[in-house]
């Protein structure tokens, strides 16, 4: 038994005004084939990052639809997270040295977690590489009894995966019944066992992070975190991670500030406990910001939670997501939903959301990033139009109800 993550209940009916009758009807129809099905979502962290965000919304909605869904978190410790972060980086294309000691650590923790697995489920959805080995380690213990169907959900951009790391992982992935990727191009050749489905992530329009806020509440939050509510600011919400390029964001802001001296920059980051690199990149970012007090580095440790993220995204002049690699980028979805103009890295799943010139701008360098921000600051009409188109694009494609629908279809397909 792992630690279960408590999630407040949600009612699907409350989504009807946002998504419409047809969407609700389809969900109910699909769920009618899965009444009472026991679903376990298993991942490495209850807090920080997109996976936690999605599960907080999806698990209660599955329950409201008559399935019996739970979200649990595997056991780990720093030595394990060091290895899993290296795997994450290697799979996203950074060179990391992949040693026998790292293999042994990953296997030891997957074995340990497999030993803790003791409840039966109809569907087990394992997220990302950290716990991916559990199924193989369970094989000797009637894995197919403990979970009738096993799904591996990969949230990572695997296009440039370091071959030795993917080769190591592949046999573990091959054991699954179904593998879910965000994009077609993330699917690796050579997977022999599992079926493959493409399911992009989604945001919860009813969450504290995504419901509309009054101007007054927004300004109170800005002020209480030292941001001048009377002056414009750019904002990026992202873990401190090399792939999110926080130092590149500061460089782009500096270029913008030459022509807009009143500009501020707000970098919001949560420190996930399975991300040991966070502090290193926080320090690197803080050094790049130097003595510029118009650059605000804020984290969950400063009390920046979902409501605050909502406020910072809502009032930003431009939302930046200057990722160099990105599985999907829920922060982009969140900003589009708030009708913000977005300038984002041309990476991974971002172009699915940001159609260049239509729902935002895609950039591949600091200079391009600054240039597009300049353009948006000077062209308020264009900025507003992008925002409005962006919101409808999200409504059509990237709300949690679509994500739930895709999972229900996947489960039904495995019956």
Q: Which residues bind ligand UDP (CB under 6 A)?
A: 49-50, 53, 209, 237-239, 268-270, 300, 304, 306, 309, 328-331, 334
Closest separation between CB of residue 53 and ligand UDP, Å? Answer: 4
Closest separation between CB of residue 3 and ligand UDP, Å? Answer: 20
Count H helices and E strands in the chain, helices first.
Answer: 17, 13
CB 141 within 8 A of CB 121: no
CB 232 within 8 A of CB 257: no
CA angle 227, 202, 270 (to 5 degrees): 35
Element at 369 (helix H, strand E): helix 366-378
Nearer CB in complex with ligand UDP: 334/339: 334
What is d(CA 11, CA 386) in angstroms, rounded to the nearest whole number?
31
Alpha-helical runs (H) found in 92-162? 100-116, 134-138, 143-146
Residue whose C-alpha is closest to residue 297's, from 285, 307, 281, 314: 285
Closest separation between CB of residue 392 and ligand UDP, Å? Answer: 20
Nearer CB in complex with ligand UDP: 147/200: 200
Residues making up the chain, counted from first to last: 415
Nearer CB in complex with ligand UDP: 111/306: 306
Nearer CB in complex with ligand UDP: 270/401: 270
Element at 362 (helix H, strand E): strand 361-363
Closest separation between CB of residue 304 and ligand UDP, Å? Answer: 6
Nearer CB in complex with ligand UDP: 324/376: 324
Closest separation between CB of residue 48 and ligand UDP, Å? Answer: 6
Nearer CB in complex with ligand UDP: 59/67: 59
Nearer CB in complex with ligand UDP: 306/389: 306
| Phi and psi at residue 8, to the nearest 5° | -65, 145
Nearer CB in complex with ligand UDP: 114/318: 318
The separation between the first and the last C-alpha atoms of the chain, rounded to the nearest angstrom, is: 25
Closest separation between CB of residue 155 and ligand UDP, Å? Answer: 7
Closest separation between CB of residue 365 and ligand UDP, Å? Answer: 21
DSSP per-residue codes, 19-74: H-HHHHHHHHHHHHTSTT-EEEEEES-SSSSHHHHHHHHHHHHHHHTT-EEEEEE-
Nearer CB in complex with ligand UDP: 247/270: 270
Task: Look up residue 120 and give its two tokens.
Answer: 């039966």
Q: Which residue is nearest to ligand UDP (CB)?
A: 50
Residue whose C-alpha is closest to residue 298's, from 237, 257, 252, 232: 237
Closest separation between CB of residue 157 and ligand UDP, Å? Answer: 10
What is d(CA 389, CA 202) in angstroms, rounded to the nearest whole number?
17
Task: Look up residue 83 and give its two tokens.
Answer: 């290895």
Closest separation between CB of residue 285 and ligand UDP, Å? Answer: 13
């Amino acid at each position: 038994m792992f630690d279960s993550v408590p999630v407040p209940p949600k009612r699907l009916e409350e989504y009807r005004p946002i998504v419409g009758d047809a969407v609700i009807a389809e969900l109910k129809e699909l769920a009618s084939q899965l009444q009472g099905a026991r679903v376990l979502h298993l991942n490495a962290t209850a807090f920080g990052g997109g996976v936690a965000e999605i599960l907080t919304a999806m698990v209660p909605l599955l329950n409201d639809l008559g399935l019996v869904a739970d979200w649990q978190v595997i056991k780990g410790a720093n030595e394990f997270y060091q290895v899993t972060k290296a795997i994450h980086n290697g799979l996203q294309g950074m060179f990391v040295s992949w040693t026998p000691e790292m293999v042994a650590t990953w296997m030891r923790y997957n074995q340990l977690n497999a030993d803790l697995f003791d409840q039966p489920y109809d569907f087990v959805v394992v997220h990302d590489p950290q716990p991916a080995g559990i199924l193989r380690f369970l094989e000797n213990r009637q894995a197919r009894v403990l979970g009738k169907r096993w799904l591996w959900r990969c949230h990572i951009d695997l296009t440039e995966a370091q071959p030795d790391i993917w080769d190591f992982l592949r046999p573990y992935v091959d054991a699954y019944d179904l593998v879910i990727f965000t994009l077609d191009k993330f699917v690796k050749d050579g997977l022999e066992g599992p079926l493959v489905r493409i399911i992009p992530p989604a945001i919860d329009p009813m969450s504290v992070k995504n419901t509309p806020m009054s101007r007054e509440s927004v300004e109170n939050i800005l002020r209480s975190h030292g941001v001048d509510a009377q002056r414009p600011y750019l904002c990026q919400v992202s873990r401190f991670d090399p792939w999110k390029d926080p130092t590149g964001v500061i460089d782009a802001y500096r270029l913008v500030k030459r022509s807009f001296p009143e500009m501020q920059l707000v970098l919001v980051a949560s420190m996930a406990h399975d991300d040991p690199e966070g502090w290193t990149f926080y320090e690197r970012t803080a050094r790049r910001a130097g003595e510029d007090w118009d650059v605000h580095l804020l984290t969950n440790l400063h009390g920046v939670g979902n409501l605050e993220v909502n406020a910072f995204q809502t009032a930003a002049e431009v939302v930046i997501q200057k990722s160099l690699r990105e599985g999907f980028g829920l922060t982009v979805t969140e900003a589009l939903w708030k009708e913000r103009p977005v300038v984002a890295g041309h990476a991974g799943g971002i172009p699915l959301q940001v159609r260049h010139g239509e729902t935002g701008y895609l950039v591949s360098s600091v200079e391009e990033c600054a240039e597009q921000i300049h353009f948006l600051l000077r062209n308020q009409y264009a900025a507003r139009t992008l925002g409005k188109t962006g919101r409808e694009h999200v409504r059509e494609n990237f709300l949690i109800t679509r994500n739930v629908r895709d999972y229900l279809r996947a489960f039904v397909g495995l019956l």
